[in-house]
């Protein structure tokens, strides 16, 4: 049976278009090698959408994305929360697996990194990002507020998603919470209740501040880490310090039916945009998650193997280059090496 997929690419701003270009080239190459096709439509999100349609997430983009097999996003400075909410993308998966050939690029000692393999499951469609907010004036003094609100049902559904992930991994779920200061949102109790259906999973609640420290001191202790929207954002960036660069990390943002948006966890990186030096591997890691979601697991594995080969041969972009033995390459050069390696290993 021929497999045909349709995706919408939203390159966005800054280094977004640079890393998305590289990623789509890799995607088309593996598609060809593994006998499936991917039709790509380009759409608008963020600043380019504001310029064209007057809104960061226009209706045109929403319509274009409806019914597609995946959205591939670069990075934007606005419009992101709207698209996540529109498609109810409440499950955000952020894998962090430092590779030994990049241990020297990490902020941590190698012995703390061996075997680290963490999956952050971040709640993405609720919490303080979407609570009531505003500004007011109290006796002449201005004030602002954002409200953290979670429906129990919203916690239960992300807990189930995280428990399902832990079931397929090493059966441990650490729950980030801050119930010593924010007791009205009972992450711990609700996750424990959902975990009754998963008796073989060890659920370990951990205060979010301690969790941040533990990720640096002893990252090997973690398997799946579940966190609300804000804590998940902050904690998962620590993955950049563990792996050596935030430019390596990808993510999948899914709704309850498996529809997804695939994006690196980094931003538009204005400090390096336009220089041709951005690391495309975070965006590439995101399409690996997309291929896995589609069931194209051999294609996904080939991308992971190719990444490992190139990095172990010492090729890397500037963000990872810390050793004499490494060869610093541009985004384009890294992409060309990637494509060549994919072809060679398939012939
Ligand atoms: N998914 C998204 O669209 C997304 C995610 C995070 C931040 N942002 C937005 O991006 C803008 C810039 O945010 P920021 O500077 O805090 O974070 P950032 O992730 O853009 O950059 C942080 C640091 O990491 C480096 N970096 C990031 N990605 C890299 C890559 N692929 N290769 C090499 N180096 C890389 C940057 O050069 C910078 O030094 C903000 O407007 C922010 O809101 C968007
Ligand atoms: C750009 C910003 C709103 C976004 C977030 O906080 O969710 C980003 O940091 C991320 O990690 O995807
Ligand atoms: Mg972030």
Whether 56 lines ligand 1, by a CB cut-off of 6 Å, is no
CATH of 107-243, one of 3.40.50.970, 3.40.1160.10, 3.40.50.20, 3.40.718.10: 3.40.718.10
ipTM of this predicted complex? Answer: 0.99
Whether 233 lines ligand 2, by a CB cut-off of 6 Å, is yes
Nearest CA to ligand 2 atom 7: 233
User: Cα(32) to centroid of ligand 3, in Å?
Assistant: 33
Active site residue 129: yes
Question: What does pTM read for this prediction?
Answer: 0.98
Q: What confidence score (pLDDT) does residue 21 get?
A: 98
Active site residue 237: yes
In CATH, what number does 1-94+246-347 get? Answer: 3.40.718.10
Closest-lying ligand 1 atom to the alpha carbon of residue 76:
3
Residues 83 and 61 sit within 8 Å (Cβ to Cβ):
yes
**Best probe residue, ligand 1, of 47, 79, 124, 246 (max atoms within 8 Å of C-beta):** 246
Q: How many CA atoms lie within 13 A of 242 on its CB side?
A: 30
User: Cα(233) to centroid of ligand 2, in Å?
Assistant: 6
Q: What confidence score (pLDDT) does residue 347 get?
A: 64
| Active-site residue identified among 209, 218, 275, 305 | 209
Residues 65 and 9 sit within 8 Å (Cβ to Cβ):
no
Under DSSP, is residue 103 helix (H, G, I), strand (E, B) or coil?
A: helix
- Sketch the domain layout of the chain as residue ranges: 1-94+246-347, 107-243
Rounded-to-integer distance, Cα 228 and Cα 35, Å: 39
Rounded-to-integer distance, Cα 10 and Cα 12, Å: 6
Q: How many CA atoms lie within 13 A of 173 on its CB side?
A: 29
| Active-site residue identified among 233, 262, 315, 319 | 233
Closest-lying ligand 2 atom to the alpha carbon of residue 236:
11
Please write down the long-range contacts of 190-198, taking CB distance under 8 Å and 24 or more positions apart: 190/152, 190/155, 190/156, 190/159, 191/155, 191/159, 191/162, 191/163, 191/226, 193/156, 194/156, 194/159, 194/160, 194/163, 195/159, 195/163, 197/163, 198/163, 198/166, 198/167
Q: Which residues does the chain have with pLDDT short of 50? A: none
Tell me which residues have their CB within 5 A of the ion that is ligand 3.
Answer: 233
User: Cα(168) to centroid of ligand 1, in Å?
Assistant: 31
Q: What confidence score (pLDDT) does residue 323 get?
A: 87
User: Cα(75) to centroid of ligand 2, in Å?
Assistant: 9
β-pairing verdict for 70-75 and 260-264: parallel
The reply to whether domains 1-94+246-347 and 107-243 share a CATH topology is yes
């Amino acid at each position: 049976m021929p497999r045909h997929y349709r995706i919408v690419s939203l390159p966005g701003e800054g280094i977004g278009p640079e890393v998305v270009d590289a990623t789509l080239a890799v995607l088309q190459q593996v598609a060809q090698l593994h006998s499936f096709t991917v039709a790509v439509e380009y759409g608008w999100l963020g600043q380019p959408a504001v310029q064209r349609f007057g809104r960061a997430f226009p209706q045109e983009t929403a319509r274009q994305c409806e019914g597609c097999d995946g959205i591939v996003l670069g990075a934007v400075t606005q419009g992101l929360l709207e698209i996540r909410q529109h498609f109810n993308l409440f499950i955000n998966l952020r894998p962090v697996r430092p590779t030994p050939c990049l241990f020297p690029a990490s902020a941590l000692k190698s012995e703390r990194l061996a075997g680290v393999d963490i999956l952050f499951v971040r709640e993405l469609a609720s919490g303080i990002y979407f609570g009531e907010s505003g500004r007011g004036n109290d006796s002449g003094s201005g004030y602002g507020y954002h409200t953290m609100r979670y429906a129990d049902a919203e916690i239960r559904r992300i807990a189930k998603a995280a428990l399902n992930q832990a079931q397929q991994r090493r059966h441990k779920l650490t729950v980030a919470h801050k119930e010593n200061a924010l007791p009205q949102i009972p992450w711990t109790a609700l996750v424990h209740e959902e975990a009754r259906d998963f008796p073989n999973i060890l659920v370990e609640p951990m205060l979010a501040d301690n969790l941040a420290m533990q990720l640096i001191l002893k990252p090997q202790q973690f398997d799946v880490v579940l966190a609300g929207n804000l804590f998940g954002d902050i904690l998962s960036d620590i993955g950049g310090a563990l792996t050596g660069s935030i430019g390596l990390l990808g993510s999948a943002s899914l709704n309850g039916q498996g529809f997804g948006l695939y994006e690196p966890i980094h931003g538009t990186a204005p400090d390096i945009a336009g220089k041709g030096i951005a690391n495309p591997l975070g965006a590439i890691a995101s399409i690996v998650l997309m291929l896995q979601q589609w069931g194209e697991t051999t294609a996904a594995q080939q991308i992971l193997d190719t990444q490992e080969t190139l990095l172990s041969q010492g090729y890397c972009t500037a963000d990872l280059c810390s050793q004499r033995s490494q060869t610093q390459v541009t985004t384009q050069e890294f992409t060309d090496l990637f494509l060549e390696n994919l072809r060679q290993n398939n012939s």
